[in-house]
Amino acid sequence: MTNKILLALVLLFSIFTSKAQTRFGLKGGVNLANVSITSGGVTVTPDALTSFHAGVLLETRLTERTLLQPNLLFSQKGYESQSPSSKSTVNYIEIPINLLYEVTNDFTIGGGIYAAHAINGKVVIQGKSNDYDFSAGKANRFDMGVNLIAGYEVVEGLRISINYTLGTANILDNTYLKETNKVWGFSLTKFVGER
């Protein structure tokens, strides 16, 4: 599944970069990651986990005011809880694809979709650490969802942005218990190339 997504992304890059103005960016920032856990119609949200994301992106101009922005990111997600004392951290390779609209030359808003594959993770419960269990009946490696994003280019080639990512896939392999990711992200992107 991940190979098919990567192949589609490469083809998409090739199509748009061959005829359009494209710039490359290095992106990094802070995640405030959390999950929604639903069982029997009751939803619980633990405390947010402060983590990070980093990666690369391409930004291709489609029209005078619209941009296509595929990303390839390493992103940490998870949550913390005080009662009982626990912390879950899962490392993902994530591919968000956003469509942006330039409200002004410096301010963009937009949204899109993402797909992600969990590489590994740790669960710490009352001081005892275990590897995240991706075996059948435990957790799913695949995640997907939607993004909302807003950014401001403070100087030419340097953008600050905020995004909200809402997972739609159940990251647990469980029919009766649903867990979905949700993340606030704060990023800094350094672009190479002109707009």
To which residue do tokens 């999950």 refer? 35
pLDDT at 41: 86
Residue 6: per-residue pLDDT: 60
CATH topology of domain 2-192: Porin (2.40.160)
Residues 6+ apart with CB under 8 A from 66: 99, 100, 101, 102
Its pTM stands at 0.86
**pLDDT value for 15:** 56
Q: Going from the first residue of the chain to its last (195 residues), give the mean pLDDT of each consecutive group of 10, the final group possibly shorter.
A: 62 58 96 94 91 98 96 97 88 98 97 98 91 87 98 97 98 91 98 81
Q: Where are the domains of the chain?
A: 2-192
